[in-house]
Structure 1
Amino acid sequence: MTAYLSPEEIQKVRDAALETGLADPMVRPLLFDGIMPRYRGTLPLLPAPVRQVHSDLNEMNRVERLVDGSVPLEIWLRNAVAQTTEAAPLAVFQHALDDVARNAGGEPDVMAGVPAPEIKEEIVHRDDTVPIGFLRGGDLAATAVARIKVPPYETGAPLQPNGFPHSGTGWLIAPDLLVTNHHVVNARAGTGAGRPLAEPADLSLQAQHTLARFDYDTDDVETEEATVSALVATDAELDYAILRLATAPSKPVLKLSRNSLAVAKGDYVAVNIIQHPGGQPKRVALRNNLVYETDERDVRYFTDTRGGSSGSPVFTDDWKVVALHRGTRRVENVSFHGSSTAFVNVGTQMDTVMRHLAANSPAVHAEIEAAQRD
């Protein structure tokens, strides 16, 4: 595979580790927390701390993922972020983590100011309160969201030597239909033109061997994984895939917004995302979640996501799904809460997905429409 980070980026991470004291041999176990011990034991041990950090980073940079589906460099960087408080090195670690997480998840590169807030006497800027039913609705919606793992296949057989599962998020759009991203089911690392596409037969096999884990809210409780019987619809450009589960789980179907989300200049519209970042237990993004802009195809927002969040439902405050989260877009001259940002997150409008299904997979579209009416 191609390395996750360039040599220059690895050097920046190494220098940031030196600056913050993370090159101290006593800190090394903290940085490797969560990485498989068997893999850790294969890494060379060197007497000089600087060389040790550089060696560790280079070794992990060459490993796409381990047998448990985890990405060691991503875990190391996540631990480095947790151990760092200084702004400059923290930014280096976070930037590298975002790049690795997106690349590991196979998120496509979708490259292509927020107005001054209204001031009211009774509240700060604007009323951000919501009815208490908002929490109950979110709790119910979360039960329809699953962590999914997709094993890569090549020419009809499990991909070797790096045939370890790719993680993503999926959700119920009909009683036994789960929707996620095409790039999640594609199960190949890389972004943009550098991301290989699985052959149709292998894509189908990958779908059939996908496992969906509902109710994965904590590592403390084991929950069963649902199996998939078929890939029933997909489109790489809109980046969606619909999987049929072998057995319909006793879960509610998420309701779709009937219209595309349109945000006029000056509007404050929030979108909330329930997700399984990094294949970890379920999390919900409720804060710092304003929409940046929309068009007929996309919704772009400041709501936080991470690698593994691909395929998550993007909700409006009534817990209707308005978009399918798929990745990140680079932007320039954009600020949020007074700070500049180089990225906004992006999802495909579900209204656009449904229109594509109606034209290309009418039976699947009819099934979803029937489920949405129930």
Structure 2
Amino acid sequence: MNELLVRQIRAAAGRYLSAGAERGEIDRRRAAGRRFPDDDDRLQLRAARLVEQHEVPGQVLLATSPEESGPRLAERIIGATNDLQSVNFLARGLRAAACVARIWYSTGGPVQPQATGFLVGPSLLLTNHHVFPDAATAAGAFAEFGAEMGIDNDLPVHTTRFTPDPDTLFLTDEHLDFTLVVMRPGGDGRPPGQIFGHLGLIAAEGKLVVGDPVNVIGHPDGRLKEIAIRENRFTQRFDDFLQYETDTEPGNSGSPVFNDQWEAVGLHHSGVPAHDDSGTVLNLQGLPWQPEQGLAQIKWIANEGVRISVILARLGALTTNDTQRAVLAQLGAGSGLGSAPTMRTGVPAPRAPVATVPGAESVALTGAAGRPDAFGGRVRLVFIHGRSQQGQDPAQLRRMWAAGLNSGLTLAGLPTVDPQDVWFPFYGDRLVEVMESALPVEAPLSPSARGLYEQLLDEAARRAGMPAAGQVAVTENIWDHVVGTVHEPLGWIAAHTGVDRLVIRAAFRDVAAYLDRDDTRVAVLDQVLAGLPWSGPVVLVAHSLGTVVAMDLLTRLGPQLPVAGLITVGSPLGMDTVYSRLRAGGAHLPPIAGPWFNAWCPTDPVAIGCPLADDWSGLGAECAVANPHDRAHDIGAYLAHREVATAIGRLLG
């Protein structure tokens, strides 16, 4: 028996066993009358997505009463899309089913139907790692399309076979149990997706809540194509996986898992077996199961799939060459991988600075200075930190930044850096000090800063896909109510990115405070200037609020400190609320700066205005990276990416 599959089955049992407390909370909510017992933010994001996509009957919105709000309103909207379906539900399902193929290969004997796969691009097939664990297995297989019963239960008249081309692209991950492989074109030169269509993968949240039905299309036990649409409910969400109650069989490995709008939400990979308290898998007789008994003897209690959004994030983090990135662009804009990093040329040469730096030497140095002979004396590396660093040790922060960068430099095959060679100007305490002295104790922000903060949240939510009121054809009063309850900006951003509300609130609060008052801005810039090296050239690496500080800093540097390059990560500079208030007066790089590279994570709420290329001039290159779910805005995670470290290492070289 496939050892990889056995490991996946046991891992699924372990996840189920570890989530007993969460299932208890879900059961408590269901007993209290919650039809969709998910978190409130998830419910609101799901309802908003359904409204935005015109999936909700207009009568439901028109019948909304003023008393309905929050989860109650969200459940009403979600329920309306589950109770009755438009007749096009069937046509859309048939369209999705056409992309699904039966996979044949040999496991030592004759070639047989073994699993399922589905097209996610004109020539891209997605299936499980335990189906195609290596390129050699894929090279010896073929995918059969059209293997399904006819409308009158007649056998298929014609099926079409396509073979994988793993030499062009073969990306796989054992933990997430997925493999993405290119398919060769057919005899007429067309890739399979031009004939059978393909599914668009969507990285955004809001596609599913606990209690929603899920639909699975595949080839169970190698049979002709079948669909599971009865007694099927999404029951539990994990960081990387989904578990659900749906009838499947071993041949369903590699099947797409859909919501009722036929959006792919998961890649089915395993059943969840019954198990005892120690996690031992049980057979149909309630005794410990052994692999030699076969999968048919396992007592199954649920099923499990890999989250599509997690697969996309992992694909974004894999190291790929130019040819592979061009192939991945087939996944489309919704995947976050639909285009290669945007490159611009013709960065203007440095010329006279906009302003000089009077009196910066009078500010006390609070950061950590680097060694003047570092990097052969050719260049100085400067880290400019972000928000919420008050009370921290600058030397310890510098070591943490350097550790992340050294991870990325190692991946890139470039020399690592000694933390003591890096300059780390520190303004964290100064920022809090000037904010508290400028604001009343009883108010967290001044009225003008509060307005700016709300403007930032509103713009971030809109950039994250929150629809405007005019996008839905209902009466204005009713839609105002829907917007007020389902589309609250902070909740939308939190649900879209998976980042805690408090983290988002604090991040945008500090950006607003910095941009609102010129005396705050001057105090921060003076503090940073005091911690810079006294001669250049310098390479500036900035994170979060520090990218805004760095952009303002460029307007105050004199010719004695030329900038060899600028690297920004996790930046809010893509928001017009931010760049319109910069000292440079807009979205253009001050001419003193050298080449500029920007990196952003699609689930980082602070970088939600990225990519920058559409708005900014002077940008040399940028790319999207996939940070871990719980570290979407983390500086160490950003610097550990090969692309980011390479941009820095080449400037130091």
Superposed counterparts of 1:253-332, under 5 Å: 253-260=198-205, 267-330=210-273
| Residues 105 and 167 in structure 1, CA contact (< 8 A), matched pair in contact too | no
SS for the counterpart of 1:228 is coil
> Could you say which residue in structure 1 is the equivalent of 2:135?
204
1:344 Cα deviation from its structure 2 partner = 0.9
Residues 222, 285 of structure 1: CA spacing in aligned structure 2 closer, same or farther, 3 A cutoff?
Answer: same
**2:20 maps to 1:108:** no
**2:296 maps to 1:353:** no
Q: Distance in 1 between matches of 2:163 and 2:309?
A: 27
> Could you say which residue in structure 1 is the equivalent of 2:162?
226
1:263 Cα deviation from its structure 2 partner = 6.2
| Residues 332 and 342 in structure 1, CA contact (< 8 A), matched pair in contact too | no
1:361 Cα deviation from its structure 2 partner = 4.3
| Residues 235 and 241 in structure 1, CA contact (< 8 A), matched pair in contact too | yes
1:208 Cα deviation from its structure 2 partner = 0.9
Residues 300, 262 of structure 1: CA spacing in aligned structure 2 closer, same or farther, 3 A cutoff?
Answer: farther
Residues 261, 344 of structure 1: CA spacing in aligned structure 2 closer, same or farther, 3 A cutoff?
Answer: farther
Superposed counterparts of 1:133-148, under 5 Å: 133-148=88-103
**2:151 maps to 1:151:** no
**2:119 maps to 1:172:** yes
SS for the counterpart of 1:131 is coil
SS for the counterpart of 1:322 is strand
**2:176 maps to 1:238:** yes
Residues 166, 146 of structure 1: CA spacing in aligned structure 2 closer, same or farther, 3 A cutoff?
Answer: closer
Q: Distance in 1 between matches of 2:317 and 2:304?
A: 24
Cα distance per residue 1:80-118 (max 9 Å; x no partner): xxxxxxxxxxxxxxxxxxxxxx99976831211652466
1:229 Cα deviation from its structure 2 partner = 1.7
Moved over 2 A (4+): 102-108, 113-119, 125-128, 162-166, 218-222, 257-264, 330-333, 361-374
SS for the counterpart of 1:169 is strand
Residues 216, 106 of structure 1: CA spacing in aligned structure 2 closer, same or farther, 3 A cutoff?
Answer: farther
SS for the counterpart of 1:311 is coil
Q: TM-score, normalised by structure 2?
A: 0.33
Residues 180, 351 of structure 1: CA spacing in aligned structure 2 closer, same or farther, 3 A cutoff?
Answer: same
| Residues 300 and 345 in structure 1, CA contact (< 8 A), matched pair in contact too | yes
| Residues 262 and 294 in structure 1, CA contact (< 8 A), matched pair in contact too | no
1:150 Cα deviation from its structure 2 partner = 2.1
Q: Which has the higher strand share?
A: 1
Q: Distance in 1 between matches of 2:260 and 2:5?
A: 27
Amino acid at match of 2:162: A
1:357 Cα deviation from its structure 2 partner = 0.9
Q: Distance in 1 between matches of 2:211 and 2:130?
A: 30
| Residues 4 and 130 in structure 2, CA contact (< 8 A), matched pair in contact too | no
> Could you say which residue in structure 2 is the equivalent of 1:336?
none
Of the candidates 118, 128, 133, which is equivalent to residue 181 of structure 1? 128
| Residues 144 and 253 in structure 1, CA contact (< 8 A), matched pair in contact too | yes
Amino acid at match of 1:130: Q
Cα distance per residue 1:27-83 (max 9 Å; x no partner): xxxxxxxxxxxxxxxxxxxxxxxxxxxxxxxxxxxxxxxxxxxxxxxxxxxxxxxxx
Residues 343, 136 of structure 1: CA spacing in aligned structure 2 closer, same or farther, 3 A cutoff?
Answer: same
Residues 103, 130 of structure 1: CA spacing in aligned structure 2 closer, same or farther, 3 A cutoff?
Answer: farther
Q: Which has the higher helix share?
A: 2
1:365 Cα deviation from its structure 2 partner = 6.0
Q: Distance in 2 between matches of 1:142 and 1:287?
A: 16
Amino acid at match of 1:306: E
1:136 Cα deviation from its structure 2 partner = 1.1
Amino acid at match of 2:142: L
Residues 178, 106 of structure 1: CA spacing in aligned structure 2 closer, same or farther, 3 A cutoff?
Answer: farther
| Residues 121 and 200 in structure 2, CA contact (< 8 A), matched pair in contact too | no
**2:133 maps to 1:215:** no
Q: Distance in 2 between matches of 1:347 and 1:359?
A: 20
Residues 307, 105 of structure 1: CA spacing in aligned structure 2 closer, same or farther, 3 A cutoff?
Answer: farther
Residues 206, 184 of structure 1: CA spacing in aligned structure 2 closer, same or farther, 3 A cutoff?
Answer: same
1:141 Cα deviation from its structure 2 partner = 0.6
Q: Distance in 1 between matches of 2:118 and 2:179?
A: 11
Residues 321, 362 of structure 1: CA spacing in aligned structure 2 closer, same or farther, 3 A cutoff?
Answer: farther
**2:327 maps to 1:367:** yes
Matched pairs, number:
237
Residues 144, 263 of structure 1: CA spacing in aligned structure 2 closer, same or farther, 3 A cutoff?
Answer: closer
Q: Distance in 1 between matches of 2:238 and 2:261?
A: 21
- For structure 2, list consecutive stretches of 5 or more residues without a partner in the other structure: 15-22, 36-78, 150-154, 186-190, 277-298, 339-653
> Could you say which residue in structure 2 is the equivalent of 1:193?
none
| Residues 106 and 183 in structure 1, CA contact (< 8 A), matched pair in contact too | no
1:215 Cα deviation from its structure 2 partner = 1.0
Q: Distance in 2 between matches of 1:263 and 1:234?
A: 25
1:309 Cα deviation from its structure 2 partner = 0.4
Q: Which gives a bigger RCO, structure 1 or 2 (Cα 8 Å, sep 6+)? A: 1
Amino acid at match of 1:185: F
Q: TM-score, normalised by structure 1?
A: 0.56
Superposed counterparts of 1:44-193, under 5 Å: 108-109=8-9, 110-112=12-14, 115-116=30-31, 128-152=83-107, 159=108, 162=109, 164-165=111-112, 167-186=114-133
| Residues 242 and 305 in structure 2, CA contact (< 8 A), matched pair in contact too | yes
Residues 361, 276 of structure 1: CA spacing in aligned structure 2 closer, same or farther, 3 A cutoff?
Answer: farther
Amino acid at match of 1:221: V
Residues 103, 356 of structure 1: CA spacing in aligned structure 2 closer, same or farther, 3 A cutoff?
Answer: closer
Q: Distance in 2 between matches of 1:170 and 1:144?
A: 9
1:330 Cα deviation from its structure 2 partner = 3.2
| Residues 105 and 168 in structure 1, CA contact (< 8 A), matched pair in contact too | no
1:318 Cα deviation from its structure 2 partner = 1.1
Q: Distance in 2 between matches of 1:295 and 1:325?
A: 14
Q: Distance in 1 between matches of 2:223 and 2:273?
A: 26
Q: RMSD in angstroms over aligned alpha carbons?
A: 3.1
Q: Distance in 1 between matches of 2:251 and 2:7?
A: 9
Indicate the percent of aligned positions where both proteins have the same amino acid: 28
Q: Distance in 2 between matches of 1:368 and 1:175?
A: 11
